[in-house]
Structure 1
Amino acid sequence: MQQIARAFILAFNDRPRAQRIILGSLTIVTLVVAIWRPALYALLVPQFTNCLFLLKDQRPHTLVPEANRIVDQIPPERDADIPEDADEISIEGEKKVHRYIISTGDDISRVLSQYRITLTDATMLSQKNLVLYSLKINQPFFWRMTSQGYFRRLTWHVSRRKTRTHEHINGNFKKSITYITDESRAALLTGQLNGGFVTSARLTGLTAGDINSMIKALQWQIDFRKLSKGDQFSVLSSREPLKGTASSGQLYGMRLHTKGKDYYAFLADNGQFYNNEATGLTRGFIRLPTLKTFRVSSHFNPRRLHPITGRISAHHGVDFAMPVGTSVLAVSDGEVIVSKRNSASGNYVEIRHGRQCMTRYMHLHTLFVKQGQKVNRGECIALSGNTGRSTGPHLHYEFWLYQRAVDPLTAKLPRTEWLTGRDHDKYRTQVKQLFPKLQLN
């Protein structure tokens, strides 16, 4: 840099005096214009002064959401028809309960830190309570946050008779263990719908946590938005209700009677609910919505450059290049919530699977299902096509989890679990004991 500067100075000094004056003047003028350009414009051209101030204060223009929407996607429709009290229920001063099921290779401190719990809290909790590393595969644990977003407590149902709680108090964790020794004294709480399910359940003495547990356990069998007045339910809880409300306890079993049919769920030692036959209540998913594997023409990409508009717009799904008329399958049991044509997406179908999952299939040629129809895993719901704004025959497939789009090719899919061996035999024995107790009014 010094050599370049020295060469420039020597070349400048070699110029005649008149040229040096001209070059120096031009340099000074250029610097003045670059630094004080608005002031010079206002000084030299007074009539532009108001325009300059207007441009300086004016906010940049932004596109309305409709103008910036990706052409082959539509935002998920909100459940406007779901009663307010049929969604997640919160406890005063706390946000909703968070639930996580342990998978192979999971580290509890890493899991918690992914859910906006500070790494300091997550590490402190796991290091001071090494027993948390003994959580088994497919075993759930729960935690609550305060309304201000701070970590409050973690709960782990070690078994049906033992519960560990780790309370966050003054920067430290206080652990407590609750033992339930006599299940024969489990309290039976019964109720009948007269309005929303949550409102009716609260009147029986069930806590917000109990109601959430019921909804999550039975969501794959029952649409809680479609329960009717007069439907009945009963719950076996580990604790008696106190002054009309139940203290925090454990649910052993539940029964819900609607449309002339009974639905059951019982708690196993691993902390999950199963039906009478020891089969998990979660419906399993298949990875792809087609019988054969097709080439991926466009991957899930939050920063995709759209091929038609040229704008950067999130690609919330995966595009599979396939001939028109290919069978498109439902990836799991569910209910069709949309089956219609859209100018951008063409013919498309949305299916709700339980309360957490939703799948979407776009650019279809022929639709075989209608809104409100129940579908089973592997059922043909449509034929692929090239409708709507499309660059060629393909299927656009999306997978939404908790109203957030995830990559269908890599997302961890819910799957059906079964109890086997001694766990199965033990579970069937306890179901035989609890089943007769779930009486209705």
Structure 2
Amino acid sequence: MLNSFFVDFRRLFPQGHQRLMLLCLVFITLLLLWPTSQRSTQSGMGVLPLLLSIGLQQAPEQLDQLPLNELVAWVDDKLRTEPIEDPFTKIYNIEAGDSLSRIFSRYNLGYQTVQQVMAADQSLLALDVLHPGNRLTLQLDEAGQLQSMELFIHAGKKVLYERVAADEFAYQEIIDEGVWRKNILAGEIFGSFYTSAQRVGLSDTDIYNINQLFKDRIDFSRDIQAGAQFQVLRSENFVEEQGTGQSRIEAIRILNRRQVLTAFMHDDGQYYDANGDSLERAFSRIPLQNNVRVSSHFNPRRLHPITKRVSPHNGTDFPLPIGTPIIAPADGVVTRIENHPFAGKYIEIQHFGGYKTRYLHLSRFNVQRGQRVTRGQRIALSGNTGRSTGPHLHYELHINNRPVNPMTAHIPLARPVPAESRAAFATRVKQLTAEMEQQSELAKQQSAKELVAAD
């Protein structure tokens, strides 16, 4: 009976809290079992059977003789090293090259179950590309059939897929916004900007984004002079002290001879120079050469016409003849080219500033993964692939990894900081500039100390 209780207990509490909750439960139970005056010496009160019942094996009989504090410390150590087994819970850490069908076959889950889960995932496409560091937690029933599955993406984002009918799953995103912590990285350029930026801790993504911001103003491979300084304020996302891997650049200053390049993120998510002029290149509202009617609008609360359950429609559908050219609405990099059983042939493009677009049910790709594209460039031809009711383009716009309505969303239009927020923007620029200058001076002093130590 206790074994059954602890199996249910594991299902109720998040994995990271289970050890603490079990330890508290054992502690409270021991307090109830032992009279206050006999806690250090009483034996034979059922402590050993209790510990064995919750799955802590090889408990020595003399545990009943231990003082309470030592006993709790022993239980804590065992809970760290001997997690309680739950035969209905399977945890799998994603490795390079893994696919959902391969993982499911490992647990004797048939291809029909794969199809059901992927059908639920069609509007999210979170399972189409699994990455090392992701984790799947599968909950099975007594017959070994999948009842739910949690995809751990990072500490701030999980997706739960639950069976809602014999042949259907539905998903729920579990988002924890966490907190953003800023850090200023400063250095001087010796050799290339790329290697100099890497040296102070900037990632490849950070460096690419900086290049994109200033690409119309400077050629980093040709115009940067040795000794030029750069200062970058980067914020990183944390949930309960655990990094999610998400980061954003909030301010940049590059001092190259007499040239000073600046970029500051405003409250609207767009970048402006220190004077408040936009650095963005405008988006097109739709990825087509001509305006066409919309056959199905963006609707995150859409009811499925048959099941009557909420089935999000995270994009906008345009009815198009097969072979209609699809164009990039803004500059970016192609991050996905896939052939999905429900989404069909699709492309994903990452644009600067947290913007991402997707194009589903295509008939032909005109770009490759990793390729840089420019606004107006032909990227594909429309089609009718995957699960589709007819030839059309399903187009999605995501801002900071959240789907939004591309027909109404606020998108970059290359305008200056709005008049009503110019004063606040100027104050922020002054404050961040002072902070970055201070960090740059500290970096110089540290570099000088290292040179002296090396001599």
TM-score tier, shorter chain, comes to 0.3 to 0.5
Q: State the structure with bigger RCO (CA 8 A, min sep 6), 1 or 2.
A: 1
TM value normalised by structure 1: 0.42
TM value normalised by structure 2: 0.41
The structure having more radius of gyration, on CA atoms, is: 1
